[in-house]
Structure 1
Amino acid sequence: MKNKKKILFIKNLYQNPKFITNDIDILSKEYSVKLLNFKSRKNAFIIFSLMYQFIYLLFNIWKFDLIYIWFADYLSFYPVIFSKLFSKKSIICAGGYEATYIPEINMGVFTNASLSKSVRAFCVRYSLKNCTYILPVDETLIEHTNNYIYSDTPGKAPLKDGIKEFIPGIKTEFRTMYLGYDSELFKKPGNIAKEKSVVSAGLIVNDDEFRRKGFDLLINAAKQLPDVKFVLIGFNDENLDKHKNNVSSNVELHKIVPYSKLIEEYCRAKVYAQFSLFEGMPSSICEAMLCECVPVGSTVNGIPKIIDGCGFIAEKRSMVEIVDTIEKAINAEEALGKKSREHIMKLFSYKNREDALIKLTRSILS
């Protein structure tokens, strides 16, 4: 239809998780959506991506009624500037990286450790302060105290983070909007039986992500639970080679796998583990719970809200607690897995996200 409102949807070219493509699908039902990918590059080469984006916006921003951006970063800087110049509304979805800084695992953007990092932090601050709405995927990305991350370091204070911690006095309106999941896509067939196994998935491209996702803890837990299989998914080639010879015989390490294979592993495993140091609203645990996994995880960001009586939570980064929660989940009745599925379907459904997002965009564009 010619009179459809137009949305410019901006994301990183190399980031295509289901939660981002879901938003494209949702918005496309009601609006004309143009996708503008931002090609992230290392070091000074980022300038070429910024130049391309600047030229595109200079000649095309007037065509759009709303600018919708996934993550605050370099890619959000010019879109927010042009939105203000041309009196357009802009939305930034905050997933987590733009809400923290954890130097031990090189997580987050709010650091001035180098010139390039200072520029990046400036771009993020400007974007978040000047967009129309920020849509964090969990309330803890606004303000949060992380009591888990340093719980294994005597005398170290908890980590305070969240966007308001790094941008005091920010006036941009926050609208927490949980991610939504397709319960028909993530569904255990009746002919698949649960195994005595633990699965966990991430994107393990370096040592920092290996530790952030708690894979180090799971490999150690496997040594104490030799009769339980551990399946860790998402290694790139370099990190797979680095770790594959340093695990016990009950541990399987996998590269990044297609969704069909990931769902298959969710459906087989009795337990899904998410002992992360930091998260926003982790999708993998929600997807696994839809496949009737009993969840275990750390008391970090959105994880306790996701688990919420359907599994077991470790309050401290302690091997005693980690092993204990896994054992409880392995020995739990299978009815707990079915309860997990019902919980995600009720609170974090695709329909819930769709309704909330369409309601907001209609109010902006009416």
Structure 2
Amino acid sequence: MPSKIVLVYPSYMPFIQRDYRILSSHHIVVRLEYNRRGLPRFLLWSIYRIICADIVLAWYSGLHALICILIAKFFRKKSIVILGGGEVAALRHIRYGSASSIVPSLVAKIPLMLADRVIAVHSSLVVKAAKELRVSTKNMLVIPLGFDYEATTDNTEKENLVLTVALANSWPRALVKGLDIFSKVAWLIPDCRFVIIGVSPEIARALKSVGPANLEVYGPMPWSQVTEYFRKAKVYCQFSLFEGFGSALAEAMLYKCVPVGSPNGAIPSIIGDSGFIVPLDNDAQIATSVRKALNADLGERARNRIIKLFPLERRKRDLLRIIDELSS
């Protein structure tokens, strides 16, 4: 018998959409999107939805998760939190991450303590949760994101284009995604297009004002348009100071972009031997690695690495297994 699941999240990202399709293939799933400006309405809808549900699954451990997990506990419903990354980040010098200050860290910590299961998308997040939030990891398990390689079969000719994709509506977010570094590297390779996708108008204007003529900066766009850039780009850069997984990095690799990334978080384990890992303290060294990537024949290797290590079928199997365990 299918379970009734409330899937709650702050933004309906592509990887959350994939989880929704996985869960709804076997269960009845109701989506609940959190909007901090509509908190009273969200609270009422949460109570209404959770009363009728069997399981609450919250993507990210934030205020939306805290509200829904507390409601689930009150009505004796099972609950799951998916740990995505920012909840355990503690980059205090740029005021980024829930673990960087007291109140946000408590908001992130309590759902992890109360949930019946906590699913981390990468093993590094389990370590960070124990260190930064000081929570027990007994109820935590790692289920990496999964990707549909069949949807990315493509033979579009690559262009001399270097790409990065990052949703950034604040400077701390832009800095943690390494967009300032990306802009500096663009100055050092003037004969190549550099493209940033996903930033707010304010961040876009600021980056363009200090960037070179070969730097293009765009706001969020439909996923179908983003994939067009994946198809054309030779190189994808992930210069993050902290990265829970790097979904866009893996997506780009599926489209045969040669990856260049920082040694932080999950990035090295995603790139492996299919690209370049470079420290972020030397712009010239980063530019050299990007040049090498532009001339490297590693696109097929990058694609095959994601297909082998992060199959969608494995995530589907493991997510459905957890639901079955909590439903029994």
Contact kept, 8 Å, 2:109 with 2:135, in 1: the verdict is no
Residue 120 of structure 2 corresponds to: 136
Residue 11 of structure 1 corresponds to: 9
CA distance in 1, matches of 2:135, 2:111: 15
Q: CA deviation at 1:278?
A: 0.7
Q: What TM-score do the two structures reach when normalised by structure 1?
A: 0.84
Q: CA deviation at 1:109?
A: 1.3
Contact kept, 8 Å, 2:263 with 2:279, in 1: the verdict is yes
Quick one: structure 1 residues 106 and 63, their matched pair in 2 at CA, closer, same or farther if it must change by over 3 Å? same
Quick one: structure 1 residues 56 and 237, their matched pair in 2 at CA, closer, same or farther if it must change by over 3 Å? closer
CA distance in 2, matches of 1:225, 1:291: 23
CA distance in 2, matches of 1:61, 1:332: 51
Which stretch shows the higher mean deviation, 128-137 or 179-188?
179-188
Amino acid at match of 1:82: I
Select the residue among 185, 196, 203 that pairs with 2:151: 185
Q: CA deviation at 1:250?
A: 2.0
Quick one: structure 1 residues 185 and 105, their matched pair in 2 at CA, closer, same or farther if it must change by over 3 Å? farther
Q: Secondary structure of 2:36's partner?
A: coil
CA distance in 2, matches of 1:331, 1:135: 38
Amino acid at match of 2:132: F
Residue 355 of structure 1 corresponds to: 317
Count of aligned pairs between the two proteins: 328
What are the ranges of 5 or more consecutive residues in structure 2 without an aligned counterpart?
none
Q: CA deviation at 1:58?
A: 4.6
Q: CA deviation at 1:111?
A: 4.2
Q: Structure 1 residue runs of 4+, over 6 Å off?
A: none
Identity %: 30
Between Structure 1 and Structure 2, whose CA radius of gyration is higher? 1
Q: Give the aligned CA root-mean-square deviation in angstroms.
A: 1.9
Residue 146 of structure 1 corresponds to: none
Residue 278 of structure 1 corresponds to: 242
Q: Secondary structure of 1:36's partner?
A: strand
More helix by share: 2
Select the residue among 149, 152, 163 that pairs with 1:199: 163
Contact kept, 8 Å, 1:53 with 1:78, in 2: the verdict is no
Select the residue among 244, 258, 267 that pairs with 2:208: 244
Which stretch shows the higher mean deviation, 103-112 or 123-132?
103-112
Quick one: structure 1 residues 194 and 34, their matched pair in 2 at CA, closer, same or farther if it must change by over 3 Å? same
Matched, 1:294 2:261: no
Select the residue among 162, 185, 190 that pairs with 1:226: 190
Select the residue among 17, 23, 29 that pairs with 2:25: 29
CA distance in 2, matches of 1:246, 1:8: 44
Q: CA deviation at 1:32?
A: 1.0
Amino acid at match of 1:203: L
Which stretch shows the higher mean deviation, 248-257 or 193-202?
248-257
Q: Secondary structure of 1:175's partner?
A: strand
Listed one character per residue, the Cα deviations across residues 76-104 of structure 1 (whole Å, up to 9, x for unaligned) are 12322233333322100011111122122
- Taking the TM superposition and a 5 Å limit, the aligned residue runs for 1:145-160 are none
Quick one: structure 1 residues 107 and 186, their matched pair in 2 at CA, closer, same or farther if it must change by over 3 Å? farther
Q: CA deviation at 1:9?
A: 1.3
Matched, 1:124 2:128: no
